[in-house]
Amino acid sequence: MTAARVLAGGRMVPLLDRIAQKYRLTAPVQEDGVVLYRRVDGGREVCLDFGLPLVPPKAHFFPQTERLFSYNAADGLELKEPPGITASVLFGVRPCDLRGFAALDPVFGGRFADVYYRDKREYTTVVGLGCTTVRPECFCAAYGGSPVDGQGADLMLTRVGESYLAEVLTPKGEQLVRRCAEFFPPEGAEEAVRAKAALGRELEARFNRRVDLAGVKEKADALFESSYWGKPAHRCLGCGICTYLCPTCHCFDIVDEDRGDRTGTRWRCWDSCMFRDFTLHTSGHNPRGSKMERVRNRFLHKLSYHLDRYGLPGCVGCGRCIAACPVNIDITRVIAEIKEVG
């Protein structure tokens, strides 16, 4: 399902105002010098000129800290669940992060669906926003992505000149456009469609990193016992920032906060496979007790394990981990080294 419309550039802020009246709106905002996704009340708060938000929008469906339920066991057992989900719009999701949702969906869905994730996914309309620049760390093309690819969005917007091409990709996107119909006149989209294709070609030509993944999974698997992993592990600080900022990472911990009076709250919080305690057993045994094993696990998860489990890569080439690692550990260099060593 693809229907194309044009949104005049000057109508974006009023459109976001309208969306905020009808939905719970989350969008990129400038906060202390970085761009983050936040709940907003109107278009003026939204940052429209940005590269890639620091923290991926996975937090909308899988929050950094999430209350699963509160309990009161003082007299029987009373459980208090979080308030019901309201219809939401997640605006301004870049193409690589749209693909990140595809990687997370089978983890939290499938046979044993996680209701907290599933309900937010179900009640959220995702509005993608095509890139207008390519950052030095970007390599989404290696995974078949593109700076203007709308796969995974309900409605995809791409800035072309003074307007936005609006592509309606799902029934949820169609409903949003119908509820804001006066912003999306039905005629005149052909030129914008051509301009988007040209923009895609121009941005793809600007990629700094050309990453060839052919044979990398097989070589990475064959290197499981190799001492190669000692090389990146020697530098790694184990800070976990690469995993927190990754749109596909999904390690979490469950914490019961007991107030000591038979009441309390169960929380789910992001965790990281780069931390020693993440795999520490109560017995004291740790199956990934060394940093080398943890670094190897992270890269094998990205390049092999996620593919084995779900048929999708565990990386979308957003480059956040490359930009944020304090000791310059670079997944594209690791890929090149795996090809050399393997």
Return d(Cα 311, Cα 171) in angstroms, integer. Answer: 26
Residue nearer to ligand SF4 on the CB measure, 158 or 243? 243
Q: Is 188 helix (H, G, I), strand (E, B) or coil?
A: coil
Subset of 30-59 contacting ligand SF4 (CB under 6 A): none
Q: Are 69 and 266 in contact, with CB atoms under 8 Å apart? A: yes
Provide the β-strand partners of residue 271.
Answer: none
Tell whether residue 274 is a contact of ligand SF4 (CB under 6 A). Answer: yes
Tell me the two tokens of residue 238. Answer: 């184990």
Give 3-state DSSP helix, strand, coil % of the chain, rounded to 5: 40, 20, 40
Stretch of 5-13, 59-67, 125-133, 317-325 contacting ligand SF4, by CB under 6 A: 317-325
Tell whether residue 318 is a contact of ligand SF4 (CB under 6 A). Answer: yes
Residue nearer to ligand SF4 on the CB measure, 166 or 323? 323
Nearest by Cα to 65 from 255, 239, 201, 269: 269
Residue nearer to ligand SF4 on the CB measure, 155 or 329? 329
Return d(Cα 99, Cα 106) in angstroms, integer. Answer: 12
Tell whether residue 327 is a contact of ligand SF4 (CB under 6 A). Answer: yes
Neighbouring C-beta atoms of residue 27, cutoff 10 Å: 26
Return d(Cα 158, Cα 168) in angstroms, integer. Answer: 12
Provide the β-strand partners of residue 252.
Answer: 270
Residue nearer to ligand SF4 on the CB measure, 13 or 324? 324
Return d(Cα 167, Cα 266) in angstroms, integer. Answer: 40
Tell whether residue 250 is a contact of ligand SF4 (CB under 6 A). Answer: no
CB of 275 to ligand SF4, least distance (A): 9
Stretch of 31-39, 203-211, 236-244, 304-312 contacting ligand SF4, by CB under 6 A: 236-244
Neighbouring C-beta atoms of residue 1, cutoff 10 Å: 9
Return d(Cα 87, Cα 19) in angstroms, integer. Answer: 11
CB of 338 to ligand SF4, least distance (A): 14
CB of 329 to ligand SF4, least distance (A): 4
Count, residues near ligand SF4 per rule CB under 6 A: 25
Tell whether residue 144 is a contact of ligand SF4 (CB under 6 A). Answer: no
Tell whether residue 136 is a contact of ligand SF4 (CB under 6 A). Answer: no
Return d(Cα 162, Cα 221) in angstroms, integer. Answer: 48
Return d(Cα 131, Cα 147) in angstroms, integer. Answer: 5
Residue nearer to ligand SF4 on the CB measure, 5 or 99? 99
Q: Which of 6, 292, 321, 334 binds ligand SF4 (CB under 6 A)?
A: 321
CB of 160 to ligand SF4, least distance (A): 26
Q: Is 83 exposed, middle or buried (0-12, 13-18, 19+ CB in 10 A)?
A: exposed
Tell me the two tokens of residue 175. Answer: 């409903």
Q: Which of 331, 334, 335, 338 binds ligand SF4 (CB under 6 A)?
A: 331
Strands 88-93 and 24-31: parallel
Q: Is 159 helix (H, G, I), strand (E, B) or coil?
A: strand
Stretch of 145-153, 172-180, 222-230, 323-331 contacting ligand SF4, by CB under 6 A: 323-331
Tell whether residue 325 is a contact of ligand SF4 (CB under 6 A). Answer: yes
CB of 158 to ligand SF4, least distance (A): 21
Helix 291-300 vs helix 331-341: crossing angle, to nearest 10: 90
CB of 188 to ligand SF4, least distance (A): 36
Stretch of 46-54, 121-129, 146-154, 316-324 contacting ligand SF4, by CB under 6 A: 316-324
CB of 299 to ligand SF4, least distance (A): 9
Residue nearer to ligand SF4 on the CB measure, 92 or 247? 247
| Residues at the interface with ligand SF4 (CB under 6 A) | 236-242, 245-248, 274, 302, 315-321, 325-327, 329, 331
